Structure 1
Amino acid sequence: MAIDKKDREILRLLQDDASVPLADLANAVSLTPTPCWRRIQKLQADGVIEKQVALCNATKLNLGLTTFVTIRTSQHNEQWMKSFVDGATAIPEIVEIYRLSGDADYLLKIVVPDISRYDSVYKRLIRSVDLLDVSSAFAMETIKCTTALPLDYA
């Protein structure tokens, strides 16, 4: 699948604001609306555009504490992994989960109002599966936070 300069510009603009009207988007990339719409449809069909969402302000939703949690396990089997994934994905405050290489096995991003709510999430997590080590780091300040992916590699 080839992504050209116009596709990258469409993606850049949509990553900035997916609610931009089609006519404005087409104008910004020097296309008429129909070819611009066709390009968007193709990017969606090809899975480049997975979905469109509303990004909410965590602080305004009383989610002022972001915690990054590294997890180590002594079990590396499919049954344990399924139990962990099922348990962790069922906790809505866990918004990102990554399986890692290196010293830690998993990295979680958790958003909650405060430490006591984090403790509640922690307790739900450790009830779901046996863990060797859980280490938490609390974000003091957000320096950069974006959902926009770099497009120079497409």
Structure 2
Amino acid sequence: MSPAEAAREMELDRFDRQLLNLVQEDAGQTAEQLAGRVALSPSAIQRRLKRLRAQGTIGRDIAVVDPERVGPCTVFIASLTVERERPDLMAAVRRWLLAEPRIQQIYYVTGEADFVVVLSAPDVAAYNALMSRLLAECPGATRFATSVALDVVKRGLTIPIPD
């Protein structure tokens, strides 16, 4: 595929934009439900969603679980500093963070810290155990600072897409 063809494939028309906004609200909507909100047939909706998934615009469909219904859950935001002179140590920390299921989001950032991570744990003791394991298994991780979320005011990963 030529660069021009790839660029055309990635272009989003108003229907694509509407669909992306709607499936970000609720990915479980049927093509029939979406067709009721977008001026397209259910089969056209299905074709567009299939294309958006195939080209990677829609990375995956997930279920958002209410943490209060599945047991104790505290949200922690940790800023993590890594020894920067060693790219191999930075890569090892990235791999460790990616493999840890309690870590929900990872941001490689500018400033004093190298990473900001959002994670959940049942309590402070479980969080401390996780971070102690990180420091023991990743010698490049030199320090971390933690904030505890007292309340979740808003949670989401929606990307607003203008029509």
Q: Map residues 48-127 of structure 1 onto 2, 5 A cutoff.
A: 48-127=57-136
Residue 63 of structure 1: how far off its partner (Å): 4.2
| Residues 104 and 119, structure 2, Cα contact 8 Å, conserved in 1 | yes
Residue 82 of structure 1: how far off its partner (Å): 2.1
Q: What are the superposed Cα offsets for residues 47-95 of structure 1, whole Å, 9 maximum, x if unpaired? A: 1111111111122222421000101123332210122122222322122
Mapped to 2, the partners of 1:95 and 1:55 lie a distance apart of 12
**Structure 2 segments unaligned to the other structure (5+ residues):** 1-9
Supply the RMSD in Å over aligned alpha carbons.
1.6
- Other-structure match for 1:19: 28
| Residues 83 and 128, structure 1, Cα contact 8 Å, conserved in 2 | no
Mapped to 2, the partners of 1:12 and 1:108 lie a distance apart of 26
TM-score of the aligned structures, taking structure 1 as reference length: 0.91
| Residues 83 and 89, structure 2, Cα contact 8 Å, conserved in 1 | no
- Other-structure match for 2:44: 35
Letter in 1 for 2:92: S
Classify the secondary structure of the residue corresponding to 1:31: coil
Identity %: 25
| Residues 91 and 121, structure 1, Cα contact 8 Å, conserved in 2 | no
TM-score of the aligned structures, taking structure 2 as reference length: 0.86
Letter in 1 for 2:119: I
